[in-house]
């Protein structure tokens, strides 16, 4: 009965006087497809010169940095978007996706309704329901709204997630639907949508073709929050460990050739002072940290990036931050600066660490040269902590070292090996490479790279990789920023 009802209502609309008006709105409604096959709907809220900005539900694109966007004007030639804002982990969260250039003619930005819709009003949904038609308008009715949710008297299919709820041909809400739910439709009302867009710095006009601008909350000149970035040229390299490399693990196989596009990588890891500025501005809470207590690794109350179990100054790399903490920092930084930062893809990280070399370590083949380039478990650590194995040199630091105190690699990156492990955005595959190393998609354990102050020779190798749950925090784990 459900599909009979939906198709019947869709037929009524198609034959009504509304059809022409809703045909025009289709030009601003977008099909959103992720690499792992999720399908949702989005809609354009802003056209700014050669760029357009699309709103969708966060669960449609969570874990995906570059979803495919199919426009009504280019149904056979999807564009690649870039997720620039995401309310991750919130079933009612929103996301903002940027389309960079190459916009088709006729693209429109949908107008937003002035106020929340009253109960019993008729609304229209246009989206991509699984098993239904694309860009097909379907009528529904508003239930009893509250300050957080709008209910609708129509069962929403998964592919409708993130699409607009239309009232008088204006956006009155954003459809929310998690895969697997069996319930009548719910949406985020326009009042919350507008507040979220304002918090992201999006200034929206009132006409469907208005050109509006995205403004950064803060864009100082020079940018005091912006990290020092190094231009990494495009190129090909052999990723993974060679067959004759000592201490290689199965997760480093097979060795394979990878092409990396040009990108930018931060010269240094994110510092404690930089992370502190984010926490002070947002009130972000990180949680407990797994730290060394002199005898064993333990997670105890009170441990955190502020108290990792050893002394740090502001120019040390921040530790005790999870993948989720890093992503929260990045969202805040992007909003504050107007630029788009992200975590590096695993292949990008190894390519940048090698800097054109095929040697075991970023600096060469002699592990005892480590202390010129990397803060690692060494003779200093052995003397103080009685650890073994260690490299046969001394860098002078037992725990983390201030950023940039040791030599840079061939691309000018400091501490790419040692000091702290660094989060990437790629999913970890413990049985070897399967292509996940070349993208940011999926859920589960994330790849961490580089080793840290408490690791010895094996983990300093350029090919060495490890995996960690996204919510894991320990006192040898931090992150470094990347940028397209």
Which residues lie across from 43 on neighbouring strands? Answer: 29, 55
Q: Any idea which fold 229-483 has?
A: 3.90.1580
Q: Where are the domains of the chain?
A: 2-199, 229-483
Where does 2-199 sit in CATH, by number? 2.40.10.120
CA atoms within 13 A on the CB side of 359: 15
Q: Is the pTM above the cut of 0.75?
A: no
Residues 202 and 158: beta-carbon distance below 8 Å: no
Q: Say what the pLDDT of residue 105 is.
A: 81
Task: Spell out the per-residue pLDDT of the chain, length 484, in tens.
Answer: 333 233 333 333 333 433 345 667 888 999 999 988 889 999 999 888 778 899 999 989 988 888 999 998 888 888 889 999 988 767 788 999 999 877 888 888 898 887 777 777 778 888 887 766 688 777 777 776 555 677 776 667 778 889 999 888 889 999 987 544 444 578 889 988 998 888 888 866 433 333 333 333 333 344 789 999 999 999 999 999 988 898 899 999 999 999 999 999 999 999 999 999 999 999 999 999 999 887 888 888 889 999 999 999 999 999 999 999 999 999 999 988 888 999 999 999 999 999 999 999 999 989 889 999 999 999 988 888 887 778 889 999 999 999 999 999 999 999 999 999 999 999 999 999 999 999 987 789 999 999 999 998 889 999 999 999 999 999 999 999 999 8
Which residues lie across from 83 on neighbouring strands? Answer: 97
Phi, psi of 274 (to 5 degrees): -65, -40
SS (H, E, C) 249-275: CHHHCCCEEEEECCEEEECCCCEHHHH
Distance (Å, whole) CA 483 – CA 473: 24
């Amino acid at each position: 009965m459900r599909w009979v009802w939906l198709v019947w209502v869709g037929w009524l609309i198609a034959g009504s006087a509304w059809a022409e008006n809703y045909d025009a709105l289709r030009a601003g409604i977008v099909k959103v497809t992720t690499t792992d096959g999720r399908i949702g709907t989005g809609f354009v809220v802003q056209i700014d010169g050669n760029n357009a900005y699309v709103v969708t539900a966060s669960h449609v694109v969570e874990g995906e940095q570059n979803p495919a966007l199919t426009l009504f004007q280019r149904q056979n030639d999807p564009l690649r978007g870039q997720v620039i804002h995401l309310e991750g982990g919130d079933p009612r969260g929103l996301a903002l996706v940027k389309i960079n250039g190459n916009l088709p003619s006729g693209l429109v930005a949908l107008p937003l309704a002035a106020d929340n819709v009253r109960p019993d009003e008729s609304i229209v949904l246009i989206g991509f329901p699984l098993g239904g038609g694309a860009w097909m308008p379907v009528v529904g009715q508003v239930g009893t709204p509250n300050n957080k949710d709008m209910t609708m008297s129509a069962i929403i299919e998964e592919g409708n997630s993130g699409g607009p709820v239309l009232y008088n041909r204006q956006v009155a809400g954003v459809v929310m639907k998690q895969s697997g739910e069996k319930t009548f439709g719910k949406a985020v009302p326009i009042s919350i949508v507008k507040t979220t867009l304002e918090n992201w710095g999006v200034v929206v006009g009132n006409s469907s073709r208005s050109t509006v601008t995205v403004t950064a909350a803060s864009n100082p000149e020079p940018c005091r929050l912006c990290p020092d970035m190094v231009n990494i040229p495009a190129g090909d390299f052999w990723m993974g460990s060679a067959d004759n490399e000592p201490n290689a693990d199965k997760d480093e196989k097979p060795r394979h050739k990878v092409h990396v596009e040009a990108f930018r990588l931060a010269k240094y890891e994110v510092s404690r002072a930089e992370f502190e500025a984010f926490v002070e501005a947002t009130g972000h809470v990180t949680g407990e940290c797994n730290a060394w207590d002199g005898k064993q690794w333990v997670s105890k109350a009170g441990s955190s990036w502020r108290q990792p179990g050893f002394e740090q100054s502001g120019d040390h790399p921040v530790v005790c931050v999870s993948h989720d903490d890093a992503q929260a920092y990045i969202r805040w930084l992007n909003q504050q600066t107007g630029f788009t930062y992200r975590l590096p893809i695993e292949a990008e990280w190894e390519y940048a660490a090698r800097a054109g070399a095929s040697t075991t370590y970023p600096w060469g083949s002699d592990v005892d040269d480590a202390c010129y380039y990397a803060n690692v478990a060494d003779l200093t650590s052995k003397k103080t902590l009685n650890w073994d194995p260690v490299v046969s040199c001394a860098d002078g630091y037992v725990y983390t070292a201030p950023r940039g105190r040791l030599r840079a690699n061939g691309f000018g990156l400091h501490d790419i090996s040692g000091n702290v492990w660094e989060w990437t955005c790629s999913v970890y595959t413990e049985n070897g490479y399967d292509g996940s190393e070349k993208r940011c998609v999926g859920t589960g354990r994330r790849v961490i790279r580089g080793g840290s102050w408490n690791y010895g020779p094996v983990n300093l190798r350029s090919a060495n990789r490890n995996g960690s749950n996204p919510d894991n925090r320990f006192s040898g784990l931090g992150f470094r920023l990347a940028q397209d």
